[in-house]
Amino acid sequence: MFELNTPIQYLKGVGPKMAQRLKILGLETVQDLLFYYPRKWIDFSQTVPVSQLRIEEIVIIKGRIVQIKTRRSPRKGILITEGIIEDEKDHQLPVVWFNQPYLAKSLKQQGTLLFRGKIDFDFAKKQKVMLSPIVERQEGIFPIYPETEGLTSKYLRRILLPLLNITSQINDFLPNTIKESEKLIDLPTAIGEIHFPQNFQNLQKAKERLSFDELFLISLRMLVARRELQKEKAPKILIPEEILQKFVKNLPFKLTNCQKIAAWQILKDMVKPSPMNRLLEGDVGSGKTVVGAMAVLSIFKAGYQSVWMAPTEILATQHFKNISYLLKPFGLKVALFTSATSNKKGTASLLLESDLIIGTHALIQSGVKFRKIGLVIIDEQHRFGVKQRTYLRQLSLSQHKILPHFLSMTATPIPRTLALAVYGDLDISILDEMPAGRQKVITRLVEPQNRQKAYDFIHNQVKSGRQVFVICPLVEEKEEDRINLFEAERKAVTSEYKKLSETVFPDLRVGIVHGRLKSKDKQEAMEQFSQGKIDILVATAVVEVGIDIPNAAVMMIESAERFGLATLHQFRGRVGRGKHQSYCFLFAQIWNDKVQARLKAVCQFDNGFQLAEKDLQLRGPGELTGVKQWGVPDLKMASLSDIIMIKKAREAAENIIVKIENYPELIAKISNFQKERHLE
C-alpha cells in the first residue's frame, strides 16, 4: 500500500527517468498526482459517421486504420504520420499526426478504435482530414490532463488508476457544517470521481466540491492576509489640503467625480496607522496616474519616499516624464530606475536622495536601498508575482521597521462580481468615468476580402497627418509555427514589418518595436514615434499599457483571436487619446463562430467593465483562458463564470474567519495552499 507522501518514482510504470518528466509538471509524490486534475473530459460514446463530418468541428470517429505510414518533412525533418480511417459504413478519412512516428507501428492491425480530433481541409489534396486525433480503444468518459513532452493523458491515467484505493488517506479539511449547508461530497470521493467518473452526474458533483475548495481557500487566505496586515504599523500621513488644492488647480483638465472619490479614499486610508492596501481599478484612459500622483505628493509632504513600479521600461520612462511634469511645481526630486540606468554612477545615492523613484523590476534586485519608503505603487499589478509585489514592503520593514502604504493599479477591468474573490485582501476604488474629451474609438472586425480597403484607409489617415499602430502576437515566425500546413499562421512582427515597409506602404515611414530589442533601441523607436518621425509602428504587446501618443489615430491588430478581450481593449486604448477621431481594426486568421463572437464583443462594447462581463459570459464554465490578465492565482478547477459558487465560497470564508482559531486543520491547509498556488 502506497502512502500519500510516497515518491512518485516508486509507482509501477514510472521509475527515475519518468519521475524526472513528471517533476516538470510539479508531480513528485502520490498526493501531487492525485491532486493533478484533468483539464477536460471527453465522452467517447458520441461518435459521428465520416459521411457527416464538417470542417472546423472536433468529432469522434469509430473505425479502423486501413493504411498508415510515416514520412519525413523537408522542413527540418519533421516526422509526419499519415493514415486512413475507415468507419463502419466503409467511408474513409485521411488522418495526420506530427512527430509521433510510433503510431505507425502501434495502430497497425488494432481493429476498431475511437479517434477524436479536429476536421480540417487539405487544400493541396482537396479533401477533409482529421488532425492529430486522440486514440482510445473503448467507450467511456476519459480525462484529458495538462501534458508535457513524453507524458500523455493515457500514461497518466494508467499510473493513476491503481491509486484510487488510497484516496481514503486524504484529509478532508472542510468543516462538516459547510459541506452540509452547501451539499458537497467528501474530498476523497471527489478526487476519485474527478479522475475516473462513473457518469457525468458524479463528475459534476466532484467538480463542484473541488471548485468550492479552491474559491473558499483563496477567499479565506485573502481574509487572513487582510487581518494580519491590519495588525502592522505604517506611517500616519496627514492630508495636506492646501498643496493638493494647488495641485488640482494646476492641472490642465478637470478631475472626474470618480477620480475625486478615489483620491479621497486613498488619502483617508493613509491617515490610518495601519498600512493601506488598495486597488485602483480604472478603464483605459480613466486617469489613474493623476490619482497616484496625489498620493505621492501627500507622502512627500510627510517626509517619506514613494516607489512607483511599472512592468516595462517603456511605461516606466513615460511615467517618469509625465509625473515629473505634474509634480515639478512642488519641488519633488524624481528618479528613473530601470535595468538600463541601474549601473550608472551615482545611482545608489540618487535612490537615497529622491522623493519618488519610478522604475521596473530593477527596483527589487538585491542591494537596492531606499531612504524611507512611505508608499509603494504597483502599476499594472497583475504583471508582477505576489512575491515581487511584497518585496518592497518587506524591504521597507527590514530597513525602517515599518510597512509602507500600498497602492495597486490596473487598467484591466475585473467584473465587479469577481472583485471580492480575486482581491479579497484589498480595498477597491473604481474609475469608471472617462475624462471629458475622450472620443469613442470606432472598432471594426475586418473580413479577409476587405484587407486592402483597410490598407487604403490607413494610407489616407497617414497622409492626413495621423499615425498608426500595427500589433502582432509574435516577435518572429518560428519553424514549428509553419509545420501544420492546415492551420493559419500567426502574424509575426518581424515579417509584418518587412511586408508593410517594403510592399504595402513603401512610401511611408514604418518602425518596429518588440521585447527582444535592446532597451536603447526600444526607447529610440518610441521616441521617434512620439516625435512623429515614424508613421506606422509595428509592435508586439510591449505597447499594451500606458503608451500615450495623442496623434496615433489607428490601431490595427493582426491575429486578434490570439489575444484576450481585455488585452484587445488595452491595445485599443492606445488610440483615441487626442482630438482626432480614432479607429481600431481587428484582423483574424481563424474565422469560426466562437472567434467572431468574441471579436464582435470588442466592437460592441467600448467600456472595459462591460467587456469584462461579456468575456466572462463567452468564456463559459470551466474555461480558464485569460485569467492571468486579472491576476488570479493558479486555478485548477474553479470556473470564474460561476458567480453563485464564488459568492457562496466568499460567504463561507467570512463566517469562518471570525473563529478560524477553532479549525487548526484549516489553518494548516491555508498555509499549504498558499505555497502550492504561489500566494506567498
d(CA 8, CA 4): 10
pTM value > 0.85: no
Phi and psi dihedrals of 207, rounded to 5? -65, -40
pLDDT of residue 609: 79
Rg (CA), the chain: 28
**Quick one: DSSP state of residue 124?**
T
pLDDT of residue 425: 77
What is the rounded end-to-end Cα distance, in angstroms, of the chain? 34
**Quick one: DSSP state of residue 235?**
-
Cell 486592402: give the residue.
Answer: 452
Other Cβ atoms less than 10 A from the Cβ of 578: the count is: 18
**Quick one: DSSP state of residue 172?**
-
CA-to-CA dists, residue 244 to 110, 235, 248, 660, angstroms: 78, 19, 6, 42
Could you tell me the domains of the chain? 1-41+150-170 (1.10.150), 45-139 (2.40.50.140), 241-431 (3.40.50.300), 442-605 (3.40.50.300)
How is residue 235 written as a grid cell? Answer: 506611517
442 bridge partner residues: 583
Q: Strands 127-136 and 583-587: what pairing?
A: unpaired
Q: Which of 454, 471, 462, 500 is nearest to 570 (CA)?
A: 471
Instruction: Judge contact between 511 and 472, C-beta under 8 A.
Output: no
Instruction: Judge contact between 289 and 319, C-beta under 8 A.
Output: yes
Q: Which residues contact 135 (CB under 8 A, 6 or more apart)?
A: 103, 107, 113, 114, 115, 116
Cell 474527478: give the residue.
Answer: 194
Alpha helices in 448-578 (DSSP H): 451-463, 480-483, 493-499, 519-530, 565-572
Number of H-type helices and E-type strands within the chain = 23, 20
- Please identify every stretch of the chain with a pLDDT value under 70, giving residue numbers as ranges: 76, 342-343, 345-346, 381-390, 392-393, 396-400, 415-422, 437, 475-490, 544-546, 619-635, 638-641, 673-680
d(CA 654, CA 659): 10
**The three-state (H, E, C) secondary structure of 15-39, written as one string:** HHHHHHHHHHCCCCEHHHHHCCCCC
**Secondary structure (3-state) at 414:** coil
Cell 516606466: give the residue.
Answer: 316
**Quick one: DSSP state of residue 545?**
S
pLDDT of residue 224: 87
